Amino acid sequence: MTSESVRPGPRRYVLFDVDGTLIDAVDNQRRVWGTWAGRYGLDADAVHRVALRTRPMETFAAVAPDQDPGECLTALHELEDEDVRSGVYTAFDGASELLGALPPGAWALVTSNYEHRVRGRFARTGLPVPDLVVDAAAVAEGKPSPVPYLLAAERLGARPEDCLVVEDAPSGVEAGLRAGMTVWGVNAPTAVAGVHRHFGSLRAAVPDILAFARAEGQAAVG
């Protein structure tokens, strides 16, 4: 779904991925997929390796082709919802400072997860939630399709060239580039192919992201 009531804001906008960009959910994802794999008698590490690079339905087809994909997805969703209620989440260093300092209406979340889980995780970590969250239910095509980022720009009343995408994963980077936006990569030791700028951590990117959001005029990629 997409949250509504977004008012026109500044001329520059920042669109954030969530997992791996603002919130460190690696251990949570490994635990959820490990429990899911156990239910089907599968090797947890092997399943997790596949899940890291594919969407859930693709993962099921690869690791459990004899199982009903709808039932597999229901089981996964139950485990993910339970993890939001009981798991331990950590925001990346700099996330709270960054989101708290961004101008109102200047940013949105664009996630392959679902909004209720994002809100749960943000509540657990104390991060503010923006007016707009574009989640998996809002679009027919997920990343690396540009559709999620283009929808976020449309809802914000922004031109793609005035948007900065902050991502950590290749599929998200590709989505932002295909949307015609500036894309910066964070939280990775080496740059993802195609990013306009790379930062080893979110903390290192905070000053530049804030400078981008507070500036006016057409976005620069340098």
Catalytic residues: 17, 19
In 151-196, the DSSP E strands lie at: 163-167, 182-185
Burial class (CB in 10 A: 0-12, 13-18, 19+), 222: exposed
Choose among 86, 95, 104: nearest CA to 126. 95
Say how far apart CA 202 and CA 67 lie, in whole Å. Answer: 39
Q: Which residues contact 27 (CB under 8 A, 6 or more apart)?
A: 88
Q: Can you tell me which residue has the tokens 């009531």?
A: 5
Q: Which residues contact 70 (CB under 8 A, 6 or more apart)?
A: none
Q: Token digits for 143?
A: 């990343």
